[in-house]
């Protein structure tokens, strides 16, 4: 991932900084993906889970004007690791974010994760009640 490439285990398909929306849609994974949003040049698609290293992730790919903009990844077993009923929602999001931070630390080393192609970060969204790892690609 340090090179901006996400290789999905057992799949020939790779997510790269040069991925085009049409190429994604013509791939086996793209044909199974679900269109989430199409608005003012932006398109987003969800799919998964697919394995990276030894963990399964759900994905959200965002394209702008047909070029990859960002990739959001969420560990598929977060619900098994967090008791949403026992914790208030914000505490649960913070815990989920910490789990993603630990995954990045184990797989990429110490942050920051800034590269020539873009960046990787762990974040959470209180409005959408979700936590994720995000790869943001520099736009050409």
Say what the pTM is: 0.93
Give the whole-angstrom CA distance, residue 89 versus residue 70. Answer: 25
7-30 residue pLDDT tens: 999 888 999 999 999 999 999 999
Give the whole-angstrom CA distance, residue 99 versus residue 116. Answer: 26
pLDDT at 127 over 90: no
DSSP secondary structure letter of residue 24: H
58-106 residue pLDDT tens: 999 999 999 999 999 999 988 788 876 666 778 888 999 999 999 999 9
* Cis-peptide into 135, omega within 30 deg: no
| Residues pairing with 43 in the sheet | 38, 63
- Higher-scoring residue by pLDDT: 131, 87: 131
Q: Which of the four pLDDT bands, split at 50, 70 and 90, describes residue 44?
A: very high
Residue 61: strand, helix, or coil: strand
């Amino acid at each position: 991932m340090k090179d901006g490439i996400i290789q999905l285990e057992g799949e020939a398909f790779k997510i790269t900084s040069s991925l085009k929306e049409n190429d994604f849609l013509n791939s086996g994974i793209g044909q199974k993906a679900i269109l989430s949003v199409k608005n003012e040049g932006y398109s987003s698609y969800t799919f998964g889970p697919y394995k990276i290293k030894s963990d399964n992730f759900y994905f959200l790919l965002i394209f702008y004007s047909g070029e990859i903009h960002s990739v959001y990844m969420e560990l598929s077993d977060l619900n098994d690791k967090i008791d949403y009923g026992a914790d208030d929602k914000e505490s649960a999001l913070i815990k989920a974010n910490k789990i993603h931070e630990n995954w990045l630390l184990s797989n990429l080393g110490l942050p920051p994760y800034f590269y020539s192609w873009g960046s990787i970060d762990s974040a959470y969204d209180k409005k959408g009640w979700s936590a994720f790892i995000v790869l943001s690609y520099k736009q050409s």
